[in-house]
A and B are shown apart, each in its own frame.
Chain A
Amino acid sequence: GEDVEQSLFLSVREGDSSVINCTYTDSSSTYLYWYKQEPGAGLQLLTYIFSNMDMKQDQRLTVLLNKKDKHLSLRIADTQTGDSAIYFCADNSGNTGKLIFGQGTTLQVKP
């Protein structure tokens, strides 16, 4: 079946950029998503990218999509302590709204 993989942990210093990576297997993906989950909270939609785009920028967030390599990344500029959370990559499998999630990357931001 389709799969999404992420590295489990990333630690950065406050003010640095963070780059969270994700790979997926579904060649028919149309939308790819990034969600943020703070401790004890739900899944907050951060941003998403349509598969015909290479890049999408939204304030401090930059999403890069390499369709050939099936690689997605989320860059957070000027990372703040409030960005500490788990970040999930998700693939819209089969264009149905059924999302396939990665296992989540825990971002730790050190002051």
Chain B
Amino acid sequence: EPEVTQTPSHQVTQMGQEVILRCVPISNHLYFYWYRQILGQKVEFLVSFYNNEISEKSEIFDDQFSVERPDGSNFTLKIRSTKLEDSAMYFCASTLKGGTGELFFGEGSRLTVL
């Protein structure tokens, strides 16, 4: 069964460092997303991406964040200068059709900022 894969599963970094989280969406999917879940809080939408550009982003997704689809398979989330409050589980998701039907999530990348 096709699945969304994410790497790394866990990353520990120092405050102020750059972090790149990687995702391989399901191969025929066209819409890609990043969500995050701070420990004990709700899963929150960060950004959606379609046709090589951001379709929508939340207030959380400020200038410190960027996304990229550098090739035909990877989808990355970059945090330029990490803050303590960026510590969270980051989930990548993909779907074939943007607003409808099945939205599949990866296993998540846990980011710990010290």
Evaluate contact between A97 and B107: CB separation under 8 angstroms.
Answer: no
A101 to chain B, nearest CB (A): 4
Evaluate contact between B105 and A31: CB separation under 8 angstroms.
Answer: no
Task: List residues of B (9-56) whose CB comes within 8 Å of A's CBs.
Answer: 31, 33, 35, 41-45, 48, 55-56
Evaluate contact between B56 and A98: CB separation under 8 angstroms.
Answer: yes
Evaluate contact between B101 and A95: CB separation under 8 angstroms.
Answer: no
Q: Which chain A residues lie closer than 8 Å to B101 at the CB level?
A: 31, 48
Sorting the interface of chain B by its residue count into under 10, 10 to 19, 20 to 34 or 35 or more gives 20 to 34
Number of residues on chain A facing chain B (CB within 8 A): 24
Please tell me if A96 contacts chain B, counting CB pairs below 8 Å: yes
Query: Chain B interface secondary structure, helix, strand, loop or mixed?
Result: strand
Evaluate contact between B91 and A42: CB separation under 8 angstroms.
Answer: yes
Partner of B45, one of A31, A35, A95, A99: A99
Please tell me if A45 contacts chain B, counting CB pairs below 8 Å: yes
Partner of A97, one of B6, B43, B99: B99
Minimal Cβ-Cβ distance residue in A for B6: A42
Please tell me if A53 contacts chain B, counting CB pairs below 8 Å: no
Q: Measuring CB to CB, which residues of chain B are less than 8 angstroms from any residue of chain A?
A: 6, 31, 33, 35, 41-45, 48, 55-56, 91, 93, 95, 98-108
CB pairs A–B below 8 angstroms (29 shown): A30-B100, A31-B99, A31-B100, A42-B91, A42-B106, A43-B43, A43-B108, A45-B103, A45-B104, A45-B105, A88-B43, A90-B43, A92-B99, A94-B99, A95-B99, A96-B55, A97-B33, A97-B95, A97-B98, A98-B45, A98-B48, A98-B56, A99-B35, A99-B45, A99-B103, A101-B42, A101-B43, A103-B41, A104-B42
Given contacts A41-B107, A45-B105, 9 further A-B contacts (CB under 8 A): A41-B108, A43-B93, A44-B105, A88-B43, A92-B103, A96-B48, A98-B33, A98-B56, A101-B44
